[in-house]
Amino acid sequence: MSEYLFVNAELLMEIEGYEQESVKKGENAIIIKASKSDSDKIVLMYIVTSNAMDVNQASAILQILEKENVNKLIVFANKFTASAKAKFNKRDIECFTEKLNISTVIPLRQLYPTVIDYVNQLCTLKCGAIPKSASECKGYSEDLIICSNCEGSGKIDGRNRFCKTCGGTGFRNQHYSCKVRLISDNADYHQGNRWVNLLQNDLLALIKLKHKAANDGESVDSIPSHTNGEVN
């Protein structure tokens, strides 16, 4: 779980434009110090690697805030006790958990435009350009996609054994071959129905794709595109 929290801290830095200055790893916490290039303000991200954050731990973290020359504290934990959360709320300190993920920091009016921005970034990263129309995008097909495991034969190695991937049909019952296109279409539907929570999940999925691609250091292969003709 602590790895998930660490990734969310990194994603928050990307969204907010923070630049990492240092990382300290302790027995029960990871502390990231970051700043913005256009500001002299220092941000401290405190990631709790133990189970729940209680009021005693909250008090200890606040003492660190007083000692460190920082302007803002952000805390990530698996869970906060009510007393710990109340203590942080009094100091206007942001708290994040797995359920309250970093996509919630985007103002509602900017949420969908931010989704579109990430879709465009990933399209450019993956295919080299942003499609001018939906029909120009090759990540969706009106026809069923041929199973890449058996190449449409429905059988494996020319034998009578059916392909388990497609069930012997030779096709995948899936129109999407690109994860970015699938998330983009989902986001359009969620925006149209004003389903904010699902739209936040769409954004988080896109950010994770971009984050994975950046960490892997690959422009195409790090973004899932074709997996036996289906998107996972």
**Residue ranges of the domains in the chain?**
2-104, 108-140+176-216
pLDDT reading at 47 higher than 50: yes
pLDDT at residue 35 greater than cutoff 60: yes
Instruction: Report whether pLDDT(229) > 60.
Output: no
Helical packing angle, 108-127 and 196-216, nearest 10°: 30
Q: pLDDT category, 215, cuts 50, 70, 90?
A: low
Question: Over the Cα atoms of the chain, what is R_g?
Answer: 22
Asked if pLDDT for residue 221 goes beyond 50, the answer is no
Q: Tell me how far apart the alpha carbons of residues 85 and 94 are, in angstroms, rounded to a whole number.
A: 10
Confidence of residue 71 (pLDDT cuts 50, 70, 90): confident
Asked whether the predicted pLDDT for residue 32 surpasses 60, the reply is: yes
User: pLDDT at position 158, please?
Assistant: 55
User: Is residue 75 within 8 Å of 88, Cβ to Cβ?
Assistant: yes
Tokens for 147?
């199973």
**What architecture does CATH give domain 2-104?**
3-Layer(aba) Sandwich (3.40)
142-199: pLDDT as tens digits: 777 778 778 777 777 755 677 877 777 777 656 777 889 999 999 999 999 888 888 9
- Asked whether the predicted pLDDT for residue 227 surpasses 70, the reply is no
Question: Is the pLDDT assigned to residue 228 strictly greater than 70?
Answer: no
Full-model pTM: 0.63
Note whether 223 and 213 are within 8 A (CB).
yes
pLDDT of residue 191: 93
| Tokens read off for 111 | 């949420």
- The answer to whether the beta carbons of residues 108 and 196 sit under 8 Å apart is yes
Range with lowest mean pLDDT among 32-36, 108-112, 216-220: 216-220
DSSP letter string over 14-50? Answer: HHHT-EEEEEEE-SSEEEEEEE-TT---EEEEEEE-S
Supply the mean pLDDT for the chain: 80
Distance CA 79, CA 82 (A): 10
Beta bridge partners of 52: 79
